[in-house]
Amino acid sequence: MRIWLALAIALLLAPTMARAAPSAQARSLAAFAQMGQVLQSPRCLNCHPAGSSPTQGEAMLAHLPAAPGGADGHGIPGLPCAACHQAANTPVSGERIRSVPGNPKWALAPPQMAWQGKTLGQICRQLKDPARNGGRSLEALWRHMAHDDLVGWGWSPGEGRRPAPGSQAVFGKLARTWIDTGAACPP
């Protein structure tokens, strides 16, 4: 009798328990929503602009001096990115600008990887598309997000800049969860 009673209780509770545990898709969407706080922050958007030039600052204003990304994202002849952006953040003694950001790989994202002005769903679908994400599989995309030092710069942007939300380690864990639960995209 006890076994039947336990079985009956389990069967009665099963629908409730199923509703309590979020689906893989719900977990994937939730992880990507958290990732979106980083992807849509100025730290990412300034170098993934809608046009051919980066933006700068929290307000994502036009880059000064005007700095087209050029064919390879490293600037144009006579004005390469490396003319100002060195291997590390460079402190300056200005009131408006306190440091010039830097990283050995400093560059503008290729045009197909631009997402400034796009919805989170559009960014998600773009990230999953190797034709628009630098030819990366989801696993390679995770390595890029979780371990690339240029991506990591977003959490150490230099004096006068607000870092991306969270940390690269947390972002990597969110990306891993998003991928492992199906890499679902919001509408």
96 confidence band (pLDDT: 50, 70, 90):
confident
Q: Which two tokens stand for residue 179?
A: 């991928």
Predicted local distance difference test score (pLDDT) of residue 117: 95
Mean pLDDT, residues 97-113 taken together: 92
Residue 30's pLDDT band, with cuts at 50, 70 and 90, is: very high
The pLDDT tens digits of the residues spanning 129-172 come to 999 999 999 999 999 999 999 999 999 999 889 999 999 999 99
Q: pTM for this one?
A: 0.85
State pLDDT tens for residues 114-125.
Answer: 999 999 999 999
Region 33-60 average pLDDT: 95
Contact indicator for 40, 123 with CB cutoff of 8 Å: yes
Cα 143 to Cα 165: distance, rounded to the nearest angstrom? 19
CA separation for the pair 63, 172 (Å, rounded): 29
Burial profile 54-92: b = 16 or more Cβ within 10 angstroms, e = fewer: bbbbeebeebeeebebbeebebeeeebbeebbeeebeee
Alpha carbons 70 and 80: distance in angstroms, whole number? 9
CA nearest to 40, candidates 136, 134, 126, 101: 126
pLDDT band at 19 (very low <50, low <70, confident <90, very high): low
